[in-house]
Each structure stands twice: as structure tokens, then as C-alpha cells.
Chains A and B, each alone.
Chain A
Amino acid sequence: MSSRVNASYFPQAERVAIFGGTHGNEMSGVTLVNMWIKNRAEIERSGVAVRAFITNPRAVEKCSRYIDTDLNRAFTPENLSTASGDGLPYEVQRAKEVNQIFGPKGSPDAYDVIFDLHNTTSNMGSTLILESSTDYFNLQMVHYIKKAIAPESCMVLLNEHPHLKYATTRSVAKHPVGLEVGPQPQGVLRSNIFESMRAIMKHALDFIELFNSGVEFPACSVEVFRVHERVDYPRDTNGNITAMVHPHLQDCDWEPLNPGDPMFQTFDGRTIPYEGASPVYPTFINEAAYYEKQQACITTRRETLAANAIRKISK
């Protein structure tokens, strides 16, 4: 039974974007978006304009994560308001362009929903990434997707951390959603990973179409993993890593890590344990792109969020 007293109302989602190539070597999104640019049939839904878009074409061309700087960290207020000019790093200029087309970020003219497609070398499976614990539209969407793909699983990572959250490409939209599927090496296209991402996008667009048609989604709860801490590799005084992710932790994304459990292994075989005070759920374990960001993994805490019923505002 829906409760009209606690329902949240949102406008029709009229403009939706699907971003690929925010990192030019994450091939599932690059391939899907290029395919959908060429043939839109699969992403068309009634009542909504869906646009597939390559956000970092030069990085895609080079098959590298970025050219000058990580586009997925570039959407800061400073960057978006800085004057255009020749001296700007490529990705800062690109962030301004993306903000102009799909934003401006924070304004009523911004796109309603943006999905940003990523791959990871970590064994995260399919993961939806949210930036707010109170965006009921997004919470209802991920709840719908999780039910639709069952028994296949899809985790929900929530990054609301004051220091660790970052200015993503998708943050231009009112409702930003990250979709991360792994494990897949950079520069590689694996069929199963590609098809998983494609299936999740299909359900996401189905949800939007249903929502736009006036369906009310009853109140629900969603299990999420909330970002807690970043853990770096052990390093020497020169900054070189002195240990690797321990074989017992490698590929164990989303499994509990208890104090004392093996976390790292030095090059001569010594185990370094997890020294935190309480159990955590690590993820992004051994993501290749995060060595330069001083991150061996992120620890998370499991939480259940409540989402209000949602319904489209009738005109």
C-alpha cells in the first residue's frame, strides 16, 4: 500500500544522458555508447530523450584513462567557473563543455539523470554508485534494477564522505548514477562484462519510462555500502610500494574484513594485517588506476537506507 503522506514527487525525467569514455580505456562504456550513438533503437523510451555521449574523446582515441588530468575529478566549482583559454588542461576545458551541454551543474536546466559507465580492474561485479543518501528517485531506481536483475547481484556504493567524495562527470545532473562493472583490465572488452552493463542500462531506462508513465513506486529499503576510508599501500620513504594486496584479500570485494585479517603481503612474503578497530567491507581492491591516487582499496560500512514512495508530479 502506498502512503501518499510520505510520497516524494519528482518532475518527469525528460532528458537523460548515458556517458561512456569518461576514462578512455574503460572499454564497456566506450563500446556501448559508440554503438548507441550509431543506432539509438535500444535506448529509446517513450516520454524521455536519451542521449548517448562520449565525454573524453581524446582519451578514447589514445585508449588511456585521461590526457592531462582525470576528467572524473574535474567537475569542481573552480574548474567549471574558470575562464577558457589555451593554458587549460584538456579535461578542464572538456568539463566546461560537458557542463554547458548537460548542465549547468546545480541549475534547473541541468539534465535530469546521467549514467556514467565505468570499468574497474577490481572484482566488484556490477556496482551502482550514488552520491546522496536522500535522493529517493535514485534509491528507487537502484532498488528496481536490483530486483530486475536478480538472481544476478548488483551492489550499491554510496559516496557521501566529506573528504573522499569527488566532483564526478555525472554530478552535472540532478540525479547522477555511476555504473561500475568489473573485473576487466584496462583496454580490454570482455563479453560478459559488456552484456552485464548493457542489461543494467536496459532496466534503468525501463524504470525511467515507468516512472514517467505515472507509476508510483512504493516505499522501500535499499542496502548500501557507505564509503568509510581510503587505504594506501605500505610505502617506503621514496614512495615506492613495499607490499601487495594479500592473496586472501585480492578479489574479495564486498566481503567482510575483520581486524587482524591479512591485508597486504610484502615482496618477501610477510603478511601485514588489517589494523582497523571494527569490521569493514572493502571494495575497489587493487584498482590499477588508483595506484597513483594512493589507494589500495576503499573500506565501507554496510547500511540500510529507507526511500520514500515516489511518483511523478502530474501536470
Chain B
Amino acid sequence: MLLTSLMLPALSRVAVCGGTHGNELSGVYLVHERLKRRKKSQVMEPVAVVTVMSNPRAVQRCVRYTETDLNRCFTHAILSASEQTSYELVRSQELNSLLGPKGSAEAMDLICDLHNTTANMGLCLITYSDSDWICLHICKYLQARAQHPRTDAMEIGPQPHGLIRANIFMAMQEAVQLLLDWVRLFNSGAQFEGGSVDVYTLVKNIDYPRDPHTHTIIAAVHPDLQDRDFCLLHPGDPMFLSFSGETLRYKGKEPLYPFFINESAYYEKAVALSLARRRKVEIPAIRACLHTVRTKT
């Protein structure tokens, strides 16, 4: 059994980020509480966790961003440009110095970025690779244990922007704790059995129906689709209900899984919902290779 585990480096540097969008309050308050507790009791955690409020100015104003969406700023072009002046562009470079540099050996091993959505997505983990075994194992661990699993951006909804719901906060707090528990166990040499994880992969985004001349929205997400994130959408199923009472249906040929249905921040990005394919990803057993733990620089 032990011989077939994939050996991976231990995770010596982990970050928890909240307030990347200043009005997504679960992460804002979670980070705020972690920083308060850290100051009060000098708690030594088994893993060195850096806790960061990503966009303090947006948090202070309780807006998604002040000039540009911070969560779209971490491109190579922006991070390497000199003389950025816009607040979020400057901030992305600061965060890159603190938590990166992106792509270098000194970068954080794991970043968990906390978000909320107005879509009914429950607890949702977003990761960027289907062979990132660390993230997929964390996913599997949370799915087995979290009260509200769906499947280290962690997205929990539905919650309107600008307010905090106790049940959502507690779900996020539990999920972060489980994630850190997993990291501690992994770093201590525990083996995590292989298995399979259901993943949803973006296929396309769908915009609202719009008036061809004015581009104003002329329909709302259909009541039969509203709040049905991750419920399979079949060709012919209702998608939108126009203001004149007409039902507009899904015209694709392939049944797909909708998500981010009616996220308020995506109106300006021309996205009413996203559609995904679901598949099982096989993940190997993994174990930390304790000899290769890097010392903190």
C-alpha cells in the first residue's frame, strides 16, 4: 500500500485570504476574526498560516472593487509591469511579493481564497488543474466531512453581497478548519487513499437575452432554473423568462450542469450562468515526502 503512494513535498507555507472582493463578507469576517485571535493569544498553529485581507480598501467601502476586479489582476503582464497606479493593480503586485512571486520556488504552497456568491452553489471548491492532487484530495476530504459539501478558492452561497449570514459563515469557518486539518495531517506523514472525485469543468458562459439595439437585458433567469445550480440542464429546458412572458429554452445539444446562476457581480461580465461538464477524476494515493520540507525563507 505504502509503496504505491505518490510522494509529494509537504506544505510548509499556506495562506488564507479573504476580502479579495470587499463585499463578500464571510471571508472578510473570517480573516478579521483570525487576525484578532492571532493578536490576542499568539496561537501557534501546527502549520504556518499567513492570513491576509486581500483588498482592504474595497473591504472598507464594502464594494467588490474600487477600480478593477482584483481577482482578475494576477496575469503575468500586470504583475511584471512597472509603475502601476490603479489601486488593485498595485495591490496585486504587493500580494505577489507577499505570497509569491507567482511561479517561483518561494511562492506559497497553498492559497485558500474565500468568496461568496449570490448563486445557490452551496460550498464549492474551485481549483485550476485536474491533476493538482493536493487540491483534489482536500476536496475529497471536505466532501466526506463538511456539513455542506458540493464537491483554494472556496465559494459559499447563496449570500447577497454586503451582508453576513450566520449559517454561511459557520460553513466557511468549518471548511477552512477542515482544510487546515488536512494540511496538518498531510504534513505529519499520513497517507491519503486514492479514489475518485466528481469535478465540474467550465464549457461555456451564457449571457442574458438582450435587446439587439439597446443591449438592455430583456429576460430574467427562468424560475425553473433559478437556484438550481449543479442540477443537470437538458436541451429544451427553460432558461429565461422574458418580460413579455415568453420562455426561452436551452438550445445546446449536450446536457450540462449550470452554476453561477444569477451571480450579481457577473451582470457586468455579461454572464447569466455558466455551464459545465461533470466527470470523475481518479486521484492517486498521496503522502508527504518529509525529507523535502522546505524551510521558511
Contacts and interface: CB of A to CB of B under 8 A. Distances in A.
B38 to A, nearest CB: 14
Interface in A119-140: 121
Interface residues of B, number: 30
Q: Is the interface of B mostly helix, strand, loop or mixed?
A: loop
Interface stretch (B6-14, B144-152, B220-228): B220-228
A244 B160 contact: no
Contact of B166 (A189, A245, A288): A245
B166 A186 contact: no
Q: Which of A35, A188, A240, A269 has the most CB of B within 10 A?
A: A188
B75 interface: no
Contact of A291 (B163, B223, B226): B163
Contacts of B201: none
Given A188-B264, A191-B223, A267-B29, A121 B163 contact: yes
Interface string A35-73: 100000000000000000000000000010000000000
A288 B216 CA distance: 26
Contacts of A194: 220, 243
A250 B167 contact: yes
B154 interface: no
Given A240-B32, A247-B166, A288-B162, A190 B220 contact: yes
Given A121-B160, A185-B160, A191 B226 contact: yes
B186 to A, nearest CB: 27
A185 B264 CA distance: 8
A267 B34 CA distance: 10
Contacts, number: 79
A167 interface: no
Interface in A130-186: 183-186
A265 B161 contact: no
Interface residues of A, number: 33
Contacts of B264: 185-188
A63 B160 CA distance: 14
A246 interface: yes
A185 B165 CA distance: 13
A289 B163 CA distance: 8
Interface in B42-94: 62
A258 interface: no
Interface string B241-278: 10100000000000000000010110110000000000
B223 A192 contact: yes
B119 to A, nearest CB: 9
B162 A291 contact: yes
B169 interface: yes
5 contacts: A31-B243, A183-B160, A187-B161, A244-B165, A288-B162
Closest A-B pairs by Cβ, 4 of them:
A185-B160, A187-B264, A288-B162, A191-B220
